[in-house]
């Protein structure tokens, strides 16, 4: 907690904020894995951004990307997040959380790992993602081990040229 938090109320608010942000991050994984795309989009601010295999800005683009592009990409996927950090600044926060991502694509099991960099905002008393950016360390068929890189795409699934590093 920041050193300038001296009152019990300030320290309690920081603990509550951290707990609410932890719930937001966990809920994101759950609705993503259950393919509840409208609920996923609602976890973002109205002008929120998702930066991953593609860049989607605003709830409508986020909903479009996940429901139309991500949904058919895999028969199943499972997200496991750990090692969270949170830096609070009033109604804003930033942080990083590690991810292990397992998926099944065309009958092949894939393994990947990386991290999310989050910018969060409290909107109408509720913490939401202002921006969630994923960086993959690797993504490969399980049989190949921890190698490979994902293909970055636009919101309609077309590969970006050139691919980001």
CA–CA gap between residue 15 and residue 81 (Å, rounded): 20
* pLDDT > 80? residue 145: no
CA–CA gap between residue 58 and residue 61 (Å, rounded): 6
Identify whether 108 is part of a domain: yes
∠ CA 93-101-157 to the nearest 5 degrees? 90
Identify whether 116 is part of a domain: yes
- pLDDT, tens only, 31-82: 999 999 999 999 999 999 999 989 999 999 999 999 999 999 899 999 999 9
Assess contact for 56 and 62: CB atoms under 8 A.
Answer: yes
**Could you tell me the pLDDT band of residue 150, with boundaries at 50, 70 and 90?**
confident
- pLDDT, tens only, 85-140: 999 999 999 999 999 999 999 999 999 999 999 999 999 999 999 999 999 998 88
pTM for the model stands at: 0.86
**Could you tell me the pLDDT band of residue 3, with boundaries at 50, 70 and 90?**
low
CATH of the domain at 43: 3.10.450.50
**What are φ and ψ of residue 5, in 5° steps?**
-85, 105
**Could you tell me the pLDDT band of residue 165, with boundaries at 50, 70 and 90?**
low
∠ CA 13-96-150 to the nearest 5 degrees? 150
* pLDDT > 70? residue 154: yes
Total count of domains within the chain: 1
CA–CA gap between residue 105 and residue 72 (Å, rounded): 9
Structure-model confidence comparison of residues 36 and 148, the more confident one = 36
Identify whether 67 is part of a domain: yes
Average of pLDDT values for 139-148? 79
Identify whether 161 is part of a domain: no
DSSP 8-class letter at 108: E
Task: Using the Cα atoms of residue 116, residue 56, residue 156 and residue 39 in order, give the sign of their dihedral.
Answer: positive
**What is the structure's pLDDT at 162?**
81
Identify whether 71 is part of a domain: yes
Identify whether 153 is part of a domain: no
Task: Give the range of the structural domain holding residue 77, as residue numbers without chain letter.
Answer: 8-144
**What is the structure's pLDDT at 146?**
67
CA–CA gap between residue 93 and residue 114 (Å, rounded): 20
């Amino acid at each position: 907690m920041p050193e300038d938090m001296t009152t019990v109320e300030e320290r309690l608010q920081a603990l509550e904020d951290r707990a609410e942000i932890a719930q937001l991050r966990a809920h994101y994984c759950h609705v993503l894995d259950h393919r509840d795309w409208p609920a996923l989009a609602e976890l973002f601010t109205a002008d929120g951004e998702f930066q991953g295999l593609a860049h989607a800005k605003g709830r409508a683009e986020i909903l479009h990307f996940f429901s139309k592009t991500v949904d058919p990409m895999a028969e199943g996927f499972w997200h496991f997040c750990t090692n969270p950090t949170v830096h609070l600044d009033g109604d804003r926060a930033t942080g990083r959380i590690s991810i292990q991502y397992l998926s099944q694509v065309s009958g092949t099991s894939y393994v990947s790992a990386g991290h999310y960099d989050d910018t969060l905002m409290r909107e109408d008393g509720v913490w939401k993602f202002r921006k969630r950016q994923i960086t993959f360390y690797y993504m490969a068929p399980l049989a190949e081990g921890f190698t490979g890189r994902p293909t970055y795409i636009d919101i309609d699934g077309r590969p970006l040229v050139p691919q980001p590093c």
